[in-house]
Amino acid sequence: MGLMDRMDGPDRYNRDIMISVRGLHNQFGNQVIHENLDLDVKRGEILGVVGGSGTGKSVLMRSIIGLQRPDAGEIYVLGENLLDDDIAGDQEVRRRWGVLFQGGALFSTLTVAENIKVPLREFYPGMSAALLDEIARTKLYLSGLPADAGCKYPSELSGGMKKRAGVARALAMDPELLFLDEPTAGLDPIGAAKFDRLTKELKETLGLTVFLITHDLDTLHAICDRVAVIADRRVIAIGKIDDLLATQHPWIQEYFSGPRGRAAHRAGAL
């Protein structure tokens, strides 16, 4: 049995599949959130995850990044099984991903620059203060924040800047994989469009793979390579938006062909 497991894991994983979820089952009390959910995220793509409120998008992300232990199923991230007892391997994977939480989740007692340095200090205690400063500065620049934002505390930042600061911290370790949980929620349309551009730029310049939970139709059309739709406790469809439009599922039709969906589609087509 052990041999089969080992064969199954790395065998299914190859360099081009960054995240592989199989048969995921999540349940809170009597409420089943995910049942037999499968999902693959390919290297170098921006995968948008959509679904109605309460369909378990965030729970899916929390399961993948190991904050929520699923009741059943397999999760491989960067080839590492996160549900086994190999703690050291899990830690190794953690330095290869970055996570942006919905509210930014910046440490409120540290400045933005210190926030960025937290993962660096944790994994590379020997790094000199000057280099830490320079790295923090570079990440601030990459995430599109002005240089003077580094010495500010999170409470002194606007909502959009907090998200950018969150991205800067997520990028601190030069991850291969970036998780974004509703990055444009609560931003004005201009800020949201800027954030979309930032995500796309980062993906292109740093070669990131992005797992993006969103409700924002504009984001889906503008930057996502593929979109996964969660409904009925599993991923009911995954693919380019045009392919999704061809499916007959009522929720997908309503989501993408409603007035907002059509407007975003027109804008995306331009």
Stretch touching another protein by CB under 8 A, among 77-85, 106-114, 210-218, 231-239: 106-114
Amino acid at 172: A
Q: Is 139 in the site for another protein (CB under 8 A)?
A: yes
Contact call for residues 258 and 79 (beta carbons, < 8 A): no
Query: What are the φ and ψ backbone dihedral angles of 72, each rounded to 5 degrees?
Result: -160, 165
- What would the two tokens of residue 58 be? 């965030």
* In the complex, least distance from residue 186 CB atom to another protein, rounded to whole angstroms: 14
Q: Which of 108, 189, 197, 257 binds another protein (CB under 8 A)?
A: 108
Applying CB under 8 A, what is the total number of residues that bind another protein? Answer: 33
- What would the two tokens of residue 100 be? 């942006």
Contact call for residues 184 and 192 (beta carbons, < 8 A): yes
Which residue in this structure is represented by tokens 């909502």? 159
- Binders of another protein among residues 166 to 195 (CB under 8 A) are 171, 173-174
* In the complex, least distance from residue 6 CB atom to another protein, rounded to whole angstroms: 21
Q: Which of 131, 246, 263, 267 binds another protein (CB under 8 A)?
A: 131
Query: How many whole angstroms separate alpha carbon 240 and alpha carbon 156?
Result: 39
Amino acid at 41: V
**Would you list the DSSP string of 220-254?**
HHHH-SEEEEEETTEEEEEE-HHHHHHS--HHHHH
- What would the two tokens of residue 11 be? 């065998």
Complex with another protein: residue 30 or 155, whichever CB lies closer:
155
Q: Which of 140, 178, 213, 264 binds another protein (CB under 8 A)?
A: 140
Stretch touching another protein by CB under 8 A, among 13-21, 34-42, 61-69, 119-127: 119-127
Complex with another protein: residue 155 or 248, whichever CB lies closer:
155
Chain contacts with another protein (rule: CB under 8 A): 108-109, 113, 120, 124, 126-128, 130-131, 133-142, 147-148, 150-151, 153-155, 171, 173-174, 205-207
